[in-house]
Amino acid sequence: MDLPSIPAKVDAAALTSVLDGRWAELRRQVRAQMTENQFRDSYDLDTESHRGQILEQLRELANTDRPRLGFDRGYGGGGDIGGSVTSFEMLGFGDLSLMVKAGVQWGLFGGAVQLLGTERHHERYLRPIMDLGLLGCFAMTETGHGSDVQHLGTTAEYDPATREFVVNTPDRAAYKTYIGNAARDGRMAVVFAQLVTGGSGRGVHAFVVPIRDENGDPAPGVHIEDCGPKAGLNGVDNGRLAFDQVRVPREALLNRYADVAEDGTYSSPIESDGRRFFTMLGTLIRGRVSVAGSAGCATERALALAIRYGDVRRQFERPGDGEEVVILDYRAHQRKLLPALATSYALHFAQEELVGALHDIQGSADTDEHSQRELESRAAGVKAIATWHATDTIQKAREACGGAGYLSENLLPSLKADTDVFTTFEGDNTVLLQLVAKGLLTSYREDFQDLSAMGTVKFAAEQLLGAVIERTAARQAIERLIDASPRRDDEDSLFDRGWQLKLFEDREEHVLDGVARRLRRAGAADADPFEVFNDAQDHVLQAGRVHVDRVVLEAFVAAIERCEDPDARTLLERVCDLYVLSNIEADRAWFLEHGRISSTRAKAVVTAVNGLCAMLRPHARTLVDAFAIPEQFLAAPMLTG
């Protein structure tokens, strides 16, 4: 490897400034506030005390201006969408129950009122939502319908006689379940239900429904259950809700996208029931983006713990001098942690790009639909990849700390237990990746949030054009790098960014073409669309994954471009190489099978990953310090004694 050498000591602060990106100033403020508040993980509390502590921390948080950031200035909000998401995701450094509880209150509940409601709802609810005068729930998921929310069973039928909606849970499968804030603290819920008026169903709509009275007792007709202990996040009071003919006024309908007149006449600017519902869902992606971001913070924290430990823990004597070897000097240990660290850098930059795009698109008055759909797709894809990465990496970090990593005092157990559900909530990852592939196949022309897998088939069958790569970041730099990349495949080209980019783009195009070809078979007269889809499902998921990989790489390239410190930049170049080459290594069977790389080159990729691990090992501590995680979140006894 003939690469520029990395200076012995790189300034962590220079890396932090690249990582902090567009909302750097806010991040600094949040860190300062966190250090002041001394929020600690609560691994030794029983469920009720933990819930109480999280509610208290939520109130402390309400006293800062952060929860207001995402709301309209007209109601005392900050009008800063990106800043809002950034401050939510940074809660991921601490007790994740607080992040989730805050996300439920201000992101999901408050976000639904703001984005699906109109002035009458904003006037009445936004201020108490911001200051916690009104605690609320987001009641979408049902026992019988988690991913397929278009087919929820709860109904809200309009009664013109009393000008009310009657909210009803027809059966056990239609119980709202896993609902945060429901078991203990919530007073109101945004309930998603099939709207029925004049005998006709008009699809799923959202309604504000009181669930508890002033005394905290269930409102009449509302049945509330506690979901009980969970694998993690026990500071959040998840519950089940059922409604027995509960009457709410006509104005309870969050009516930005549809309304029902006093006489029961239904009106909406969007004709298709499905399209309307998926448009509503599309506005609510902040939650998904925040989950991806806080999964990232939690992963960074786990890596910081494991790398600090690996940097001081010694085991087995080195032959000759009798000194015990620091475990991060072992290649197996480096391989466990350093490619994961490189991937965390990559995902951090992708998240930062995503938040910026969210801010620009949701903050703009006239957004074209294509950009909106691309944003939804990217949010889904980054969330899936980032949360799986979190689960894998936190597990590795736990194992890398041996028995110490299993003790709650060393913080990794809560990180692992709390983040586990991220892979299946706010959209099941498998379903989300299908959705990404669907967006690519239909060039984001279709109702994006229609998660129905089979929906993909219809469109793809009509998709005749070859896949087109649409770059999401650093477009000019990428063009330049690709143009300058070598035509020949020599060993050094492994480290050529242009070659790497081309390889990722080429993989994406090829996989996507393959999916389109397979799905087109559904058009045959004797084809069973389900069978066609099912036979292609692996390829569909792979298409989603490799697309996200490419988008993530582009974000990394953009981050390197904006890095002004030359030493930090040299280091980031190598971290990017490790991200790319460990990704290729993991998928090298595909590259070999499709004649993209030779056997010799595949082996060279493995060697290069080893070489990069060795090269980055002396900088591992700097790389985790650069995350600038407030020290109280790293106060594990295993690191001090």
By CB under 8 A, the residues from 460 to 479 that bind a copy of itself are: none
| 402 part of the interface to a copy of itself, by CB under 8 A | yes
| 506 part of the interface to a copy of itself, by CB under 8 A | no
| 599 part of the interface to a copy of itself, by CB under 8 A | yes
DSSP single-letter state for residue 427: S
| 146 part of the interface to a copy of itself, by CB under 8 A | yes
| Sites for a copy of itself among residues 159-218 (CB under 8 A) | 172, 177-178
- Out of 391, 419, 463, 500, the only residue in the binding site for a copy of itself (CB under 8 A) is 391
| 141 part of the interface to a copy of itself, by CB under 8 A | yes
As measured in angstroms, the least distance from the Cβ of 195 to a copy of itself is 20
Q: How far apart are CA 198 and CA 174, in angstroms?
A: 22
Q: Minimal CA–CA distance to 418: which of 49, 5, 50, 11?
A: 50
As measured in angstroms, the least distance from the Cβ of 508 to a copy of itself is 19
- Out of 24, 469, 602, 635, the only residue in the binding site for a copy of itself (CB under 8 A) is 602
- Among the listed residues 89, 353, 426, 508, the single catalytic one is 426
- Out of 306, 451, 501, 548, the only residue in the binding site for a copy of itself (CB under 8 A) is 451
Residue in this structure with the two tokens 């989603």, named with its chain if needed: 544
DSSP single-letter state for residue 323: P
| 311 part of the interface to a copy of itself, by CB under 8 A | no
Quick one: tokens of 432?
């989300």
As measured in angstroms, the least distance from the Cβ of 236 to a copy of itself is 11
Binding-site string for a copy of itself from residue 35 to residue 74, where x marks contact by CB under 8 A and - marks none: --------xx-x----------------------------
Q: How far apart are CA 298 and CA 301, in angstroms?
A: 5
Q: Minimal CA–CA distance to 410: which of 302, 332, 490, 296?
A: 302
| Sites for a copy of itself among residues 96-135 (CB under 8 A) | none
Q: Quick one: 292 or 557, whose CB is closer to a copy of itself?
A: 292
* Angle made by CA atoms 388, 390, 395, in degrees to the nearest 5: 105
| 610 part of the interface to a copy of itself, by CB under 8 A | yes
What is 330-394 written as a DSSP string?
SHHHHHHHHHHHHHHHHHHHHHHHHHHHHHHHHHSSS--HHHHHHHHHHHHHHHHHHHHHHHHHH
| 593 part of the interface to a copy of itself, by CB under 8 A | yes
Q: How far apart are CA 287 and CA 85, in angstroms?
A: 8
| 530 part of the interface to a copy of itself, by CB under 8 A | yes
DSSP single-letter state for residue 452: -
Q: Quick one: 44 or 262, whose CB is closer to a copy of itself?
A: 44
Q: How many Cα atoms sit within 13 Å of 557 on the Cβ side?
A: 25
Q: Quick one: 468 or 525, whose CB is closer to a copy of itself?
A: 525
Neighbours of 125 (CB within 10 A): 22
Q: Minimal CA–CA distance to 125: which of 99, 105, 139?
A: 105
| 589 part of the interface to a copy of itself, by CB under 8 A | yes
The window from 80-88, 101-109, 147-155, 500-508 that contacts a copy of itself (CB under 8 A) reads 147-155
The backbone region for 542, taken as left when phi is positive above 0, alpha when psi lies in -120 to 50, beta otherwise, is alpha
Cβ-proximal residues to 72 (8 Å cutoff; 6+ apart), any chain: 79, 114, 122, 126
Handedness of CA 200, 201, 202, 206 (dihedral sign): positive
- 89 part of the active site: no
| 408 part of the interface to a copy of itself, by CB under 8 A | yes
The window from 108-116, 140-148, 245-253, 281-289 that contacts a copy of itself (CB under 8 A) reads 140-148
As measured in angstroms, the least distance from the Cβ of 129 to a copy of itself is 25
Quick one: tokens of 519?
């799905």
- Out of 1, 219, 270, 325, the only residue in the binding site for a copy of itself (CB under 8 A) is 325
Q: Quick one: 81 or 412, whose CB is closer to a copy of itself?
A: 412
The β-bridge partners of 222 are: 243
- Out of 75, 219, 311, 330, the only residue in the binding site for a copy of itself (CB under 8 A) is 330
Quick one: tokens of 204?
């799923």
Give yes or no for a contact between 210 and 399, defined as CB atoms under 8 angstroms apart.
no
| 459 part of the interface to a copy of itself, by CB under 8 A | no
Q: Quick one: 428 or 509, whose CB is closer to a copy of itself?
A: 428
Binding-site string for a copy of itself from residue 538 to residue 577, where x marks contact by CB under 8 A and - marks none: x--x------------------------------------
As measured in angstroms, the least distance from the Cβ of 450 to a copy of itself is 10
The window from 127-135, 394-402, 467-475, 503-511 that contacts a copy of itself (CB under 8 A) reads 394-402
| 226 part of the interface to a copy of itself, by CB under 8 A | no
| Sites for a copy of itself among residues 510-529 (CB under 8 A) | 528-529
As measured in angstroms, the least distance from the Cβ of 428 to a copy of itself is 6
As measured in angstroms, the least distance from the Cβ of 300 to a copy of itself is 20
Q: Quick one: 24 or 592, whose CB is closer to a copy of itself?
A: 592
Binding-site string for a copy of itself from residue 415 to residue 444, where x marks contact by CB under 8 A and - marks none: -xx--xx-xxx--xxx--------------
298 membership: H or E segment, kind and range: helix 286-312
The window from 5-13, 130-138, 414-422, 513-521 that contacts a copy of itself (CB under 8 A) reads 414-422
Phi and psi torsions of 470, nearest 5°: -115, 115
**CA 184 to mean position of chain CA atoms:** 26
Q: How far apart are CA 150 and CA 492, in angstroms?
A: 51
Give yes or no for a contact between 177 and 191, defined as CB atoms under 8 angstroms apart.
no
Q: Minimal CA–CA distance to 381: which of 539, 218, 548?
A: 548
How many residues lie near a copy of itself (CB under 8 A)?
Answer: 79
- Out of 123, 406, 470, 524, the only residue in the binding site for a copy of itself (CB under 8 A) is 406
Q: Quick one: 365 or 525, whose CB is closer to a copy of itself?
A: 525
Give yes or no for a contact between 379 and 289, defined as CB atoms under 8 angstroms apart.
yes
Cβ-proximal residues to 321 (8 Å cutoff; 6+ apart), any chain: none
As measured in angstroms, the least distance from the Cβ of 629 to a copy of itself is 21
| 227 part of the interface to a copy of itself, by CB under 8 A | yes
Amino acid at 591: F
Q: How far apart are CA 571 and CA 14, in angstroms?
A: 11
- Out of 371, 534, 570, 632, the only residue in the binding site for a copy of itself (CB under 8 A) is 534
Residues with catalytic function = 426
